[in-house]
Structure 1
């Protein structure tokens, strides 16, 4: 996989006041911005081209990260406008920059020690999701993973979606039929969540997954950011 997408457009409302002046993916942890951990790991995995979705305080991303050359990457920025487009709209907005091959997508507000090179470069279906053990703040999980590595919307022993996956562009085809005419879809570009598309594909057994048991943190609050900082110092 040569291309990757990093979702970095969110408002970071739960992280205020830290995000009043700094986008969440640019908050420092372990001595560098959170997003830089992703960039370093993507470069180490052989990714050469990264698209970063931006909205909130968007100008800070190119000011901080530049063109990506310091990591051996080429970074392109997909500005979503003043209102973030959610994960589905953000991915759709970035597709023209991502080429036709499957690509990695990762949430800019997580930390994970996964080796991106170990991800499935050619998903059997429309996407391959990395699932993790349920954290305390999300005890019921998101999806179930069966013994054939197929992800289901329902089932026992549910796991949490890590925010890391490998996607085919075809997942977004026919998005309007799945999403419908809900608020935001009449915008240009449209705003909608990715999860309904994933669930529709799961109904056709078109989403595979794997259970990652390494370190993972959803940096959703200042307290979790401080906890991650302490863990990285150790």
Structure 2
């Protein structure tokens, strides 16, 4: 397995999971289980099949339970470190705070802890890293886009060839951002360390400079947003 695209991975696990209550009253949302494996375990097992070895997980609500459940990652063949947040810093704020621990040379992979995507081809997705490193216009992000789910029919961004845009031309396909992406550390240069910050404004600013690429993924992907959806997924993958 080529080491060319060996980059660290950041798993987002700091959300409170309000829509998942009461299941998340005494358990962090990413520790909810599908077929007797937590959402985070599904991600970690998939990562272990790639060149990635260094993983950082952020947490806030009941975060100590995540550390107890996963430890240092040896059981997965990975090295896990944690980035605790006193209160959730949102996606970009959490990434910014974790960057000193992640210590990426340039790019790193980010996966939302509350999505379920069995058989996610992470190794194939990582192949884009070598392409992102060449060319005159340095890409700041590469997003995995998925067909719009029932609960999000309007989508997020347009995918035109391999470029992601906030405003699409006629006929461009509007898709949903999967919560899975590869980012350059420079995307977060202007953020205040330890302050809450959303990811979407950073991505839109980079899109205006044509610095966001993407690809469409049509394999299984689910936003585990409600107890009913969790129950349905457990039944579907039985």
- How far apart, CA to CA, are the structure 1 residues paired with 2:174 and 2:7? 31
TM-score (norm 1): 0.91
Q: Quick one: which of 39, 46, 57 aligns to 1:41? A: 46
- How far apart, CA to CA, are the structure 1 residues paired with 2:237 and 2:36? 9
Q: Which runs of 5+ in 2 are unaligned?
A: 1-5, 133-137
Q: What residue number does 2:129 align with?
A: 121
Contact between 1:89 and 1:189, CA under 8 Å: does it hold in 2? yes
The 3-state SS of whatever aligns with 1:164 is strand
Q: Output one character per residue of 1:2-51: Cα deviation in whole Å (capped at 9) or x when no partner.
A: 31000000000000000000001001111111110000001111210100
TM-score (norm 2): 0.90
Q: Quick one: which of 97, 104, 112 aligns to 2:101? A: 97
Note the aligned Cα RMSD (angstroms): 1.2
Q: What residue number does 1:140 align with?
A: 154
- How far apart, CA to CA, are the structure 1 residues paired with 2:47 and 2:190? 30
Q: Output one character per residue of 1:54-82: Cα deviation in whole Å (capped at 9) or x when no partner.
A: 0000100111001000010000000011x
- How far apart, CA to CA, are the structure 2 residues paired with 1:121 and 1:42? 16
Runs of 4+ deviating beyond 6 Å: none
Match runs of 1:1-234 below 5 Å? 1-81=6-86, 83-99=87-103, 100-112=105-117, 113-119=119-125, 120-122=128-130, 123=132, 125-147=139-161, 149-155=162-168, 156-175=172-191, 189-233=194-238
- How far apart, CA to CA, are the structure 2 residues paired with 1:30 and 1:142? 30
- How far apart, CA to CA, are the structure 1 residues paired with 2:45 and 2:51? 10
Which is worse superposed, 194-203 or 167-176?
A: 167-176
Q: Which runs of 5+ in 1 are unaligned?
A: 177-187
- How far apart, CA to CA, are the structure 2 residues paired with 1:87 and 1:74? 22
Q: Output one character per residue of 1:89-126: Cα deviation in whole Å (capped at 9) or x when no partner.
A: 00000100112231110000001131111112243500
For residue 174 of structure 1, report the CA deviation from its aligned partner. 2.2
